[in-house]
């Protein structure tokens, strides 16, 4: 894991000072060294700040081919690179390091842009080909590693994070359309950021820049089977396939010359990763768990029992409300996004503790719920119009109310129903959040976008071919992966919080070979009766403690920060003159004044809306938007 920067200037030479500023803005991602390359004609430049995990002494970047015609900078990891290296050496290529990243330049010489499809891992990359004066930019299949871009001075600038583009000289301003979409549904289109003029390379996409033109294509996408071609295996066969693929995904992610640890919750996903990793490790796994001070959010007892059963060392990161409030501004600044819960600050503090203990790599259980339909809202989609289904789900998943399950009245979703023929439960939930946020928005902000439907825009922005002919649950899951997983779970809660402290998060469940196995199974292999992730739980029989294997999904959420008299309310929201212009100050003050008298459920449901406003305020202050 590292930070990367690329500049292309067709008519004037690249600005070396802009490259240096962008690299400095990414220093947190790469504390172990830096390198830069500028073409002789100054039409292109690459920068790299390094977190050294493989070939720590010889893997400096940017890295070039033997003749210097191909130069690349890589963030992240390519797994199983030894086999590719052996193949390339057999074809006459000469390597100068043991770095996994060097495989890219030689593989590109052989296959061109198609080389990306042969890579297994979590990565973003930039590659300059002097032979046709093109820059190739690409991002891993699920978007674990970020990559942003913008036009600058008639050319292009790419970087791991938007803050580097701002440092390079891209003007800082809100993308009003992305912000509007986020106020409606929390997320925005996958090719945008919250910053005007700054876009994102999408998950599974490669972009080629030649001169002033940039063209992108999707090289990989998650494909659920059409309803007429579902694979229905017997339970034992399906579980065996899943177990084998997951074991492989975990095993290859243990390669590192730096210390490795694990994020452990009280659930089955992270427990599975630790259990499988322990089989390949020479020492006891070291696991970290966030411990909150309130019942209903704290999982320390479950995690401790799991660690003891697996023979792992267990370390708690105890997080109190005051610590969350203190960490929130830095966490939001690093995230470059809008948060709806204090869990963003909790993840920031977890990663800080991991780094302070000397660990550079942390394996997590993220992605299992996306592959194996683990969320409660997907059971709502499976139940369809069954009377009382959502009520029963809300009763068993109170923490998800207003976030992943509807709570109260929401924005109108007739446009969604026309597009899909139904309304995904998670979109109905976000619509209730959007309605609460709308009540805090300035009238002119709302009037200026009358009739604009962020949900419909989001649906229209994804590949409709991946929705046609699929089961409702698979349609809902695909849209969730494009919005929540890529835009929030992996970026805001994942890479941004981990790399704020130079910790590389690795996600075995989002291995594309495991995804091919999971994605090809009929939904009945995951949703069975009132249970979720059935096939995964079957695959883990005998591997994790039975109480964990059968435990209900518990989302990673911090206790609400905004629902009482707190420093966040007083210092960030109440009475400030520098609130974002989309906020109705009078409506916000009235809401804050009414908070103490509200019923607990109503206050809890309002917390995500207030958090969204608070995080927008922090971003505006941090980046002077």
CB 324 within 8 Å of CB 318: no
pLDDT for 337 beyond 70: yes
Exposure string over 19-58, b if 16+ CB within 10 A, otherwise e: bbbbbebbebbbebebbbbbbeeebbbbbbbbbbbbebee
- What is the structure's pLDDT at 408? 86
User: What is the DSSP secondary structure assignment for residue 149, as one 8-state letter?
Assistant: E
Average the pLDDT over each of 284-298, 400-414, 527-541 and give the range with the smallest value: 400-414
Residue 150: CB atoms within 10 Å = 22
- In the block, residue with structure tokens 């996306």: 370
Domain 227-370+483-549 sits in CATH at 3.40.50.620
Domain with CATH 3.60.20.10 in the chain: 2-218
- Sign of the dihedral defined by the CA atoms of residues 610, 616, 620, 622, in that order: positive
The secondary structure element, H or E, covering residue 589 is helix 585-594
pLDDT for 389 beyond 80: no
Residues 215-264 pLDDT 10s = 999 999 998 888 777 667 889 999 999 999 999 999 999 999 999 999 99
What is the spatial order of strands in the sheet that 286-292 belongs to? Answer: 313-319, 286-292, 260-263, 361-363, 504-506
- What is the structure's pLDDT at 12? 83
- Joined tokens for residue 112: 């061109």
Query: Residue 469 burial by CB count (10 A; 0-12/13-18/19+): exposed, middle or buried?
Result: middle
- Joined tokens for residue 158: 């790419």
Q: Is the peptide bond before 611 cis (omega within 30 degrees of 0)?
A: no
- What is the structure's pLDDT at 385? 52
Please give the Cα distance from 190 to 460 (Å, whole number).
Answer: 12
Mean local confidence (pLDDT), 482-508:
97
- Joined tokens for residue 3: 């930070």
- What is the structure's pLDDT at 445? 92
pLDDT for 495 beyond 90: yes
Question: Which residues face 206 on adjacent strands?
Answer: 138, 217
CB 66 within 8 Å of CB 37: no
Residues 417-475 pLDDT 10s = 999 999 999 999 999 999 999 999 999 998 888 778 999 999 999 999 999 999 899 99
C-alpha dihedral, 595 to 598 to 599 to 604, nearest 10°: -30
CB 545 within 8 Å of CB 588: no
CB 323 within 8 Å of CB 608: no
Residue 558: CB atoms within 10 Å = 21
- What is the structure's pLDDT at 567? 66
3-state secondary structure 187-214: CCCCCECCECCCEECCCCEEEEEECCEE
Angle formed by the axes of helices 300-310 and 268-278, to 10°? 20
Confidence of residue 578 (pLDDT cuts 50, 70, 90): confident
Comparing 339 with 396, the larger pLDDT belongs to 339
Mean local confidence (pLDDT), 113-141:
97
Domain with CATH 3.40.50.620 in the chain: 227-370+483-549
pLDDT for 396 beyond 90: no
CB 351 within 8 Å of CB 330: no
CB 54 within 8 Å of CB 100: yes
Strands (E) across 140-181 are located at 148-152, 155-159
* Nearest Cα residue to 527 out of 519, 518, 535: 535
- Joined tokens for residue 434: 């959007």
Strands (E) across 80-204 are located at 120-129, 134-139, 148-152, 155-159, 199-200
pLDDT for 391 beyond 70: no
DSSP three-state, residue 564: coil
pLDDT mean across residues, the chain: 92
- Joined tokens for residue 479: 């849209």
- In the block, residue with structure tokens 């009245």: 409
- Joined tokens for residue 515: 């995804």
- Sign of the dihedral defined by the CA atoms of residues 480, 481, 482, 483, in that order: positive
3-state class percentages of the chain: helix first, strand second, coil last, to nearest 5: 45, 15, 40
- In the block, residue with structure tokens 């780094």: 355
pLDDT for 140 beyond 80: yes
- For 20, how many CA atoms within 13 A lie in the half-sphere containing its CB? 3
What is the spatial order of strands in the sheet that 205-210 belongs to? Answer: 63-64, 70-79, 120-129, 134-139, 205-210, 213-218
Write out the DSSP string of 530-549. TBS-HHHHHHTTTTS-HHHH
Query: Residue 377 burial by CB count (10 A; 0-12/13-18/19+): exposed, middle or buried?
Result: buried
- What is the structure's pLDDT at 531? 76
Residues 16-45 pLDDT 10s = 999 999 999 999 999 999 999 999 999 999
DSSP three-state, residue 53: coil
pLDDT for 276 beyond 60: yes
Backbone dihedral angles phi then psi of residue 537, each to the nearest 5 degrees: -65, -35
- Length, in residues, of the chain: 625
Pick one of 1.10.3720.10, 3.60.20.10, 3.90.110.10, 1.10.579.10 as the CATH number of 2-218: 3.60.20.10
**Where would I find the H helices in 407-450?**
414-420, 425-438, 443-447
- What is the structure's pLDDT at 301? 93
Confidence of residue 564 (pLDDT cuts 50, 70, 90): low
Q: Whole-model pTM?
A: 0.96
């Amino acid at each position: 894991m590292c930070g990367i920067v690329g500049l292309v200037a067709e008519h004037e030479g690249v600005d070396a000072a802009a490259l240096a500023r962008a690299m400095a803005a990414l220093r947190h991602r790469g504390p172990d060294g830096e390198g830069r390359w500028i073409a002789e004609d100054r039409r292109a430049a690459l920068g790299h700040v390094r977190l050294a995990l493989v070939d720590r002494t010889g893997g400096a970047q940017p890295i070039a081919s033997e003749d210097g015609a191909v130069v690349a900078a890589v963030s992240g990891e390519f797994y199983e690179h030894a086999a590719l290296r052996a193949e390339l050496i057999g074809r006459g290529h000469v390597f100068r390091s043991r770095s996994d990243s060097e495989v890219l330049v030689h593989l590109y010489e052989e296959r061109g842009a198609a080389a990306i499809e042969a890579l297994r891992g979590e990565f973003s990359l930039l590659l300059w080909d002097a032979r046709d004066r093109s820059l190739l930019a690409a991002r891993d299949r699920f978007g674990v590693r970020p990559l942003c871009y913008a036009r600058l001075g008639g050319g292009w600038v790419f970087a791991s994070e938007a803050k580097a583009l701002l440092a390079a000289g891209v003007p800082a301003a809100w993308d009003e359309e992305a912000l509007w979409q986020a106020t409606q549904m929390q997320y925005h289109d996958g090719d945008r950021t919250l910053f005007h003029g700054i876009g994102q390379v999408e998950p599974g996409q490669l972009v080629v820049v030649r001169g002033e033109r940039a063209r992108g294509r999707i090289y990989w996408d998650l494909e659920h089977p059409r309803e007429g071609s579902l694979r229905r295996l017997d339970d034992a066969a399906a579980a065996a396939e899943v177990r084998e693929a997951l074991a492989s995904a975990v095993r290859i992610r243990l390669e590192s010359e730096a210390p490795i640890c694990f994020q452990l919750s009280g659930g089955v996903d992270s427990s599975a990763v630790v259990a499988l990793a322990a089989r390949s490790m020479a020492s006891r796994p070291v696991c970290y768990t966030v411990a909150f001070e309130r019942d209903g959010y704290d999982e320390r007892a479950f995690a401790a029992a799991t660690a003891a059963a697996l023979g792992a060392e267990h370390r708690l990161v105890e997080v109190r409300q005051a610590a969350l409030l203190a960490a929130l501004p830095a966490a939001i600044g690093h995230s470059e996004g809008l948060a709806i819960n204090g869990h963003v600050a909790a993840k920031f503090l977890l990663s800080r503790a991991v780094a302070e203990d000397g660990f550079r790599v942390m394996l997590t259980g993220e992605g299992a719920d996306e592959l194996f339909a683990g969320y409660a809202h997907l059971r709502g989609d499976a139940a369809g119009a069954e009377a009382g289904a959502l009520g029963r789900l809300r009763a068993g998943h109170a923490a998800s109310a207003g976030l992943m399950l509807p709570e109260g009245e929401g924005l109108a979703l007739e446009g969604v129903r026309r597009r899909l023929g139904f309304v995904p439960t998670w979109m109905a939930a976000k619509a209730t959040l959007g309605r609460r946020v709308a009540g805090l928005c300035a009238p002119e902000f709302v009037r200026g976008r009358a009739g604009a439907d962020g949900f419909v825009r989001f649906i229209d922005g994804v590949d409709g071919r991946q929705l046609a002919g699929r089961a409702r649950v698979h349609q809902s899951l695909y849209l969730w992966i494009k919005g929540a997983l890529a835009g929030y779970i992996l970026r805001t809660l994942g890479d941004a919080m981990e790399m704020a402290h130079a910790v590389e998060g690795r996600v075995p469940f989002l291995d594309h070979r495991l995804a091919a196995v999971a994605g090809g199974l009929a939904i009945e292999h995951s949703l069975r009766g009132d249970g979720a992730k059935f096939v995964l739980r079957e695959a883990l029989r005998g591997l994790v403690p039975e109480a964990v294997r059968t435990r209900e999904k518990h989302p990673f959420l911090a206790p609400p920060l905004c629902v009482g008299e707190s420093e966040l309310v007083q210092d960030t929201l109440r009475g400030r003159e520098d609130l974002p212009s989309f906020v109705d100050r009078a409506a916000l003050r009235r809401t804050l004044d009414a908070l103490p008298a509200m019923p607990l459920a109503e206050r809890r449901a309002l917390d995500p809306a207030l958090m969204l406003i608070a995080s927008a305020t922090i971003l505006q202050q941090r980046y002077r938007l």
